[in-house]
Homo-oligomer: A and B are copies of this chain.
Amino acid sequence: MASRLQAELKKKKPFDSPEQEAALSLLRTADLVQVRFARLFRGHGLTPSQYNILRILRGEGKPLPILEIASRTITVVPGITGLIDRLEQAGFLARKRCEKDRRVVYVELTTKGIRVLGELDQPLLELHRNMLGHLSATELGTLIGLLEKARSALAEGAGDA
C-alpha cells in the first residue's frame, strides 16, 4: 500500500526515500499545528509570532531588549521591529529606551498584554490536548526524542557541505 501522506498530497509517485517521506510529513504536520494555533490566537487579535513575543516577556518577568527577544524566536532581526511596532500599536506592550546605553530599546508588557496572555492559557492547554492528546505518554516521549535527534543534524551550520 502506498503511504497515507502520499494520498493526502495526491502524489502520483511514491517517495524517493524514507528520509523524504519523513521530512515532508514533518512539514505537513507542523503546518496543520500552526494553523490551529493561528485560529485560536486570531480570536484574541494576535498572530502566532505576536503571541510568542508576549509569552517570552511574561516568562522572563521583566522587560527585555529587542535583540534578546529576537534571539529567542525564529524571527530574524529586521522582522522583530514591525512585530513590536504592531504590538505596541495595539497596546500589548511598550518600548522604553535604555538610559545607560541609548542604542538599546527595552520592551515591556502592559496590563492589557498580561491580560490577553491570561485569557489564552486555558484554551491553549485544551488545544494541545486536543491536537496531540490521542498519543500516549510513551508515544509523545518517542516523538519528542526522535525530533530532538533530527534537530541534532539541523543545528545552525551543521553539515553545511
Interface positions of A (Cβ within 8 A of B): 3-5, 8-13, 16-23, 25-34, 36, 59-60, 71-72, 74, 124-126, 128-135, 137, 139-144, 146-155, 159, 161
Contacts and interface: CB of A to CB of B under 8 A. Distances in A.
Given A130-B159, A131-B154, A133-B19, A74 B148 contact: no
Majority secondary structure of chain A interface residues (helix, strand, loop or mixed): helix
A144 B22 contact: yes
A21 B8 CA distance: 26
B141 A28 contact: no
A148 to B, nearest CB: 6
Contacts of A144: 3, 5, 18, 21-22, 25
Contact of A131 (B25, B146, B153): B153
Contact of A16 (B34, B36, B125, B143): B125
Given A22-B144, A140-B18, A143-B22, A150 B131 contact: yes
A23 B19 contact: no
B131 A18 contact: no
18 contacts: A5-B148, A9-B72, A10-B72, A18-B137, A18-B141, A19-B131, A20-B124, A25-B144, A26-B26, A26-B30, A26-B143, A30-B30, A31-B74, A130-B159, A131-B159, A135-B149, A139-B149, A142-B142
A34 B28 contact: no
B22 A150 contact: no
A17 B29 CA distance: 19
